[in-house]
Amino acid sequence: MSSPVIYKVDGQIGHIILNRPEKQNSLTEDLVVRVVEALRVAEEDPEIKVIILSGEGKSFCGGADLEVLMALENASETSKWIEMTASLAKTIVDLDKYVIAAIQGYATGAGFGIALASDFIIADRSAKFSLSFSSLGLIPDLGLTKNLVDYLPLSLAKEWISSGKIISADEAYQQGIINRLVDGSLYEEAVDFAQFILNGPPLSNKYVKHLLNRARSSNLDVALMNENMVQTVLLQTEDHKEAVRSYFEKRKPQFSGN
């Protein structure tokens, strides 16, 4: 039996691939646990600078496996399932490294949640997004109620959620959800997009991610305090000194993450 998650390293990129194509890569406990484990492995690997999260087969992720949901017998089991799946979105958001979601086919329900929890989305132009929760009598989870409102006008977020409409990649791009639309090789485009991260300063990228992910919940005084503390640290790093040297030597900096 094949693993529900494939993890491989290509240079400085960690690839995490959801591998249940016969079920549209829908979420099970085993899949979620293995994705979280792979994210942690990539985070702790000093050679990896960015993670690309994708799905095997025709779709990125079709949401939760409905057979798993139907098997939940009581409130305790249901609560455990919800907290476990939510931990996947939180792990992506809290990770020290950037995560790029590469979307083909459908990103439905929780699959949409995983995509929006990621730092960047690269999508095939034929990709489709759907908040299918209302058709099941449910509400969005995996942070979607917050992340959608961070991207969309409130009335549009309500429409997308309550209608359960299918959102085209073009519409998602127009709303600022997608960073790049792809006509062709999704994998190659995702790797190409990642180049600015691979060439950039790992420590700066780490702190930019954490600061911006929390910016909307901070007032200006807190934001300034956080910036000042981080900048004090970064001004003392070898990467900053290398950047200054390279400026005067008229060459590209070689960042080491130190």
pTM here is 0.94
Report pLDDT digits (tens) over 247-257: 999 999 999 88
Tell me: do 27 and 87 sit in the same domain: yes
Domain that holds residue 235: 202-248
User: Are 130 and 168 within 8 A, CB to CB?
Assistant: no
Tell me: do 62 and 129 sit in the same domain: yes
Q: Provide the number of structural domains found in the chain.
A: 2
Tell me: do 22 and 101 sit in the same domain: yes
Tell me: do 15 and 123 sit in the same domain: yes
Q: What is the DSSP string of 145-182?
A: HHHHHHHS-HHHHHHHHHH--EEEHHHHHHTT--SEEE
Tell me: do 64 and 29 sit in the same domain: yes
Tell me: do 36 and 141 sit in the same domain: yes
Task: Examine residue 258 and state whether it is found in any structural domain, yes or no.
Answer: no
> What pLDDT score was predicted for residue 216?
82
For residue 86, what is the domain's CATH number? 3.90.226.10
Tell me: do 112 and 232 sit in the same domain: no
User: Are 8 and 39 within 8 A, CB to CB?
Assistant: no
Tell me: do 96 and 156 sit in the same domain: yes
> What pLDDT score was predicted for residue 1?
66
Task: Examine residue 257 and state whether it is found in any structural domain, yes or no.
Answer: no
The CA distances from residue 218 to 72, 193, 223, 225, in Å, are 38, 29, 6, 10
Tell me: do 41 and 104 sit in the same domain: yes
Neighbouring CB atoms inside 10 A of 35's CB total: 22
Neighbouring CB atoms inside 10 A of 155's CB total: 8
In our burial notation (b when 16+ CB lie closer than 10 A, e otherwise), range 79-113 reads eebeeebbebbebbbebebbbbbbbbbbbbbbbbb
Q: Which residues of the chain have pLDDT under 50?
A: none
Tell me: do 84 and 189 sit in the same domain: yes
Task: Examine residue 255 and state whether it is found in any structural domain, yes or no.
Answer: no
List alpha helices for 64-164, DSSP H: 66-70, 75-94, 110-117, 144-151, 154-163
Tell me: do 127 and 151 sit in the same domain: yes
